[in-house]
Chain A
Amino acid sequence: MSGVPLLPERRRWLQAAGAAGLLGLAGCASTPNTAMPALRRAQVLVVGGGWGGATAARHLKLLSDGQAQVTLVEPDAALVSCPQSNLVLAGHRTLADLTLGYEGLERLGVRRVRDRVAALDLARREAVLASGGRLRWDRLILSPGVELMRERVDGLSAAHAAGRVLQAWKAGPETLALRAQLEALPDGGVFVLTIPLAPFRCPPGPYERACLVADYFKRVKPRSKVLVFDANPEPVSKAALFKRVWATQYAGIVEYRPSFNAVAVSADGREVEFELGERERGDVLNVLPDMRAGDIAARSGLARANGRWCEVDFLDFSAEDAPGAGVHVLGDAVLAAPLMPKSAHMANAHAKVAAAAVVASLSGWEPNPAPVLTNTCYSWVDGAHAIHVASVHGYSAAQRTYLVLPGASGVSTGVSEREASYAMGWLKGMRQDAGEG
């Protein structure tokens, strides 16, 4: 596709460089690159230290052989993985198991600024920090994640603020708070999970959560129930696999009801109301509202697609709503291409294509005309078994988007322990690839 053959001299050079443990553009003495000083001078600012931002920072360093000056702005002290955080709800993992620091990135020379970006001055190419400082960029990689639109469900903001109805859709303290609610739930109690219309962060996540809460109930509170109300007509990911698991492993525990869109929660946080007026009571409600791109994207005028998502040029992830400002947006905040999930792995893939495009641009080169994105999402159905969905997305120049390549997608044939071991390997790889070490 990209059709770049390895020339014999580079093959030799690669071997030599590989043997020396020093594979680098700078070592490529046969092709002096006059654009390199621009790459060394440029300030590359990464805003948001989730999977997308951390992976971008790591690969800006890797793909520039350490030459790019990279600053990462993130208010949190560490990255807490959303993937596998449903295992915390079931008691199979702690948050500490899923937490990675930014020290690895700092060792690679990434400057870390622990602050929040309050505004983006697109004209001056400056990020205004909550603390008042400003950071200039030549290239900005914005990985803002998602915001939960609690305002779209009547009473949800108040119920959330009071700690009664949680989402726990960003791993962290709220994950532990929801775990505590499940622990306090009596045997025979009801857990009600509502799912918004797609697209939302982590398409299989709610269905995995239904499985893992059921796994906890089955072991500890066998008379309890998991009621799933889905605004979609069918699970939006791995539908057949999840339905089979609910019908077999969790028969009598999980009830799945499609096409129920939650519109309100009661003041006591015990009752949810749906679009057509039906009501359901539960001991613990977990109401997931619609989602949109993170606030900083919206406030900067970058999230104009349906008023929710950031439109990008998929060749280099440059923001369509900030032409000429050197802004790239990636991760869940992006208006997705067909069948492109809002997943950690996809954010990792975006990050590497964007990082390569930034390094190319600062080197005076064109972006790769044929970038490739891969995705594998593992879902756990209990503490020891997992399933997956995988896909490879190739850039279509004709349609200016990514399309799933023919034959290059699929799901598990069934639930397996083997896939659980791969899911653990995947998280290790993701952590390393985000610069942990």
Chain B
Amino acid sequence: MGGAAPVLAQTGPSDGEALLRQRALAASCAACHGTEGRAPAGSAMPSLAGRPAPWIVEQMSAFQSGAREATVMHQIARGYSPAQIEQLAAYFAALKP
């Protein structure tokens, strides 16, 4: 997917448009992990905002492979491509915890 970058750089969406798509993608995590990745007080789900991007990528990969035990996340994680996971990770990492 990284190979698509040069093409997108020429014909892809504007920065604002790309950011909107990235935010909307990140919003797909929010019902459980909280709006903008900030889990509500007392929630059993972890916050994602402010987590280092490599950590998020690593966890999603471990959920996908089954290396990290889970009730739900091994099923959810398999719905995201490596490129999407990279976008999610970058987005949440840039947010204040």
Q: Is the CB of A25 within 8 A of B78?
A: no
Name A6's closest neighbour in chain B (CB-CB). Answer: B90
Docked complex: A1-53 residues within 8 A CB-CB of B: 1-7, 9-11, 14-15, 17-19, 21, 23, 25, 28, 30-31, 33
- Please tell me which one of the listed residues A31, A365, A388, A429 contacts residue B34 in the complex, with CB atoms under 8 A apart: A429
Q: Let me know if B56 is at the binding interface, CB within 8 A.
A: no
Q: How far is the CA of A396 from the CA of B94 in the complex (A)?
A: 30
Docked-complex contact A4 and B12, CB < 8 angstroms: yes
A-B contacts at CB below 8 angstroms, number: 197
Q: A4 touching B18 by the CB < 8 A rule?
A: yes
Interface segment among A89-97, A129-137, A407-415: the answer is: A407-415
Cα-based distance from A390 to B71 in the complex (angstroms)? 10
- Residues of B in contact (CB 8 Å), total 55
Pairwise interchain contact A2-B21, C-beta atoms closer than 8 A: yes
Out of A18, A390, A429, name the residue touching B95 (CB < 8 Å): A18
- Asked whether, in the complex, the Cβ of A376 is within 8 Å of the Cβ of B32, the reply is yes
Q: Are A23 and B17 in contact (CB under 8 A)?
A: no
Considering the complex, which residues of chain B in the window 44-97 have a beta carbon less than 8 Å from any beta carbon of chain A? Answer: 44-45, 71-72, 74-81, 83-84, 86-87, 90-91, 94-96
Asked if B14 and A374 make an inter-chain contact with CB atoms under 8 angstroms apart, the answer reads no
Chain B residues whose CB sits within 8 angstroms of the CB of A19 once the complex forms: 96
Given A1-B81, A18-B94, A429-B30, does the pair A388, B25 have CB atoms closer than 8 Å? no
The answer to whether A31 touches B16, judged by C-beta atoms less than 8 angstroms apart, is yes
User: Is the pair A28, B94 in contact by a Cβ cutoff of 8 Å?
Assistant: no
What chain A residues lie within 8 Å of B4 (beta carbons)? 3, 5
Is there a chain B Cβ closer than 8 Å to A363's Cβ?
A: yes
Question: Closest B-chain residue to A14, C-beta based?
Answer: B94
Hey, which chain A residues are within 8 Å of B87, CB to CB? 2, 4-6
> By the criterion CB–CB under 8 Å, are A348 and B71 in contact?
no
Contact B28 A374 (CB under 8 A): yes
B21 touches A356 (CB 8 A): yes
**A114 and B25 alpha carbons, distance in the complex (Å):** 32
Known: A4-B13, A429-B30. A363 touches B20 (CB 8 A): yes
**CB contact under 8 A between A352 and B71, given known A6-B87, A376-B32:** no
Q: Which residues of B contact A201 (CB under 8 A)?
A: none
Contact flags B1-38 to A (C-beta < 8 A → 1, else 0): 11011001100111111111111110111111111100
User: Given A405-B79, A406-B78, are A23 and B2 also a contact pair (CB < 8 Å)?
Assistant: no
Chain B minimum-CB-distance residue to A369:
B21
Least CB distance, A226 to chain B, in whole angstroms? 27
Inter-chain contact B9/A25, CB cutoff 8 Å: no
* Segment with Cβ contacts to B, from A213-221, A268-276, A418-426: A418-426
* Residues in A whose Cβ lies below 8 Å from that of B32: 376, 422, 425-426, 429
Most chain A C-beta atoms within 10 Å of own C-beta, residue among B44, B77, B78, B86: B44
Hey, which bits of chain B sit against chain A, CB under 8 A?
Answer: 1-2, 4-5, 8-9, 12-25, 27-36, 39-40, 42-45, 71-72, 74-81, 83-84, 86-87, 90-91, 94-96
4 closest residue pairs by CB, A with B:
A392-B79, A408-B79, A356-B24, A14-B94
